[in-house]
Amino acid sequence: MRYRRGILAVATALALTSGTAAVAAPYPPPSDGQGTVDPSRIKAGQCTTFSGNGFLPETTISYSDNGAARDTSSAGLDGSFSHKMCFPDSTKPGKHVLRATGTGSDASPRTVSGDLTVQGVSQTHGSNSNSSGSGKAQTSLPAADAGSTSTRNAAFSGTPLLTGGLLVLILVGGLAWTLVVSEVRHRRQRRQS
């Protein structure tokens, strides 16, 4: 009888553990792709076009620069995107990683990235004009930080795994506690009879 309880407890713990692990990781796994940045070298105060494909048609795509959220748009009917991104005069020079995030054509999370190099400040633009020459102030564009990393995304992507692991520990601990209490009660009943 005691061995049956032990086997049942182990089988239950394994079933709970494997079920929780499946919930913790997204299925299907996220896909990553390489986008195109044209031109790939600009000066602060200029614009570039970031494009890519592999998204669910007409899904919302979020854009970021070195992890800082920028704009959103929708993928085309073929799942591709082509998005103009402008950088204010205050943009720090150096390498910038542009990312487009949305739902992939296989319904899994998808990220497309491309590299951009910002070289100094454009001489043709004043501090309050955008690169299209319309004269509108660029107050809505955040300054990009060439030295930052996408720690916010890394922390977010690990959260489901941490939560799943914590849930497994709680379930296994609760199961072990139940088995200990059951065994203590069983021994007390033996002694009393």
Per-residue pLDDT tens over the stretch 9-39 = 665 655 555 554 444 444 455 567 899 999 9
User: Residue 173's pLDDT band (boundaries 50, 70, 90)?
Assistant: confident
Q: Which of residues 114, 131, 148 is at a domain's end?
A: 148
Tokens of 144: 């990009």
Q: Are 47 and 64 in contact (CB under 8 A)?
A: no
Long-range contacts of 124-133 (CB under 8 A, 24+ apart): 124/45, 125/45, 125/46, 125/89, 126/89, 127/89, 127/90, 129/45, 130/47, 130/86, 131/45, 131/46, 131/47, 131/86, 132/47, 132/86
Q: Which of residues 129, 148, 167 is at a domain's end?
A: 148
The parent domain of residue 173 ranges over 1-29+150-193
Record the pTM.
Answer: 0.51
pLDDT for 191 equals: 85
Higher pLDDT, 8 or 55: 55
Structure confidence by residue, pLDDT tens digits, 82-93: 999 999 999 999
* 66 and 17 within one domain: no
* Number of domains within the chain: 2
| Nearest C-alpha neighbor of 120 from the set 40, 41, 44 | 44
Residue 135 CA to residue 52 CA, distance in Å, equals 29
